[in-house]
């Protein structure tokens, strides 16, 4: 288990057979982007595992956080590796819908 915590953001990784789930809580924005990248970097490049980001406890995401998720999606797609987001809170789902990115995450989640 890998955990990265600061005052307003937490990312905890739990490994399971064949996959990793990263549980996010708090606010994912520009100020914590380096912390999020540190957690995700070793996981993104491992095409042998399914990668899931659980957003149940995430209260806020800005364009930087969305950009990181999109770069992960693109990298994983290029490797033909599974990537999904799950338990997206309503306010974040609304933002995903408004920006048009929800369809990409939904498609990835359904492909697993």
Q: What is the CATH number of the domain that holds 9?
A: 3.30.750.24
Q: Give me the count of residues in the chain.
A: 112
Strands 83-86, 9-16: pairing is unpaired
Confidence of residue 3 (pLDDT cuts 50, 70, 90): low
pLDDT in tens, 58-68: 999 999 999 99
Range of the domain at 15: 2-110
Number of domains into which the chain is organized? 1
How confident is the model over 15-57, as pLDDT tens digits? Answer: 998 899 999 999 999 999 999 999 999 999 999 999 999 999 9
């Amino acid at each position: 288990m890998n955990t990265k915590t600061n005052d307003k953001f937490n990312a905890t990784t739990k490994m399971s057979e064949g996959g990793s789930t990263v549980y996010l809580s708090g606010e994912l924005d520009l100020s914590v982007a380096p912390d999020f990248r540190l957690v995700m970097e070793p996981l993104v490049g491992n095409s042998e595992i399914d990668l899931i980001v659980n957003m149940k406890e995430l209260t806020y995401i800005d364009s930087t956080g969305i950009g990181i998720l999109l770069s992960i999606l693109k990298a994983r797609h290029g490797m033909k590796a599974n990537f999904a987001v799950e338990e997206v809170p309503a306010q974040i789902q609304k933002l995903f819908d408004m920006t048009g990115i929800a369809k990409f995450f939904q498609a990835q989640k359904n492909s697993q």
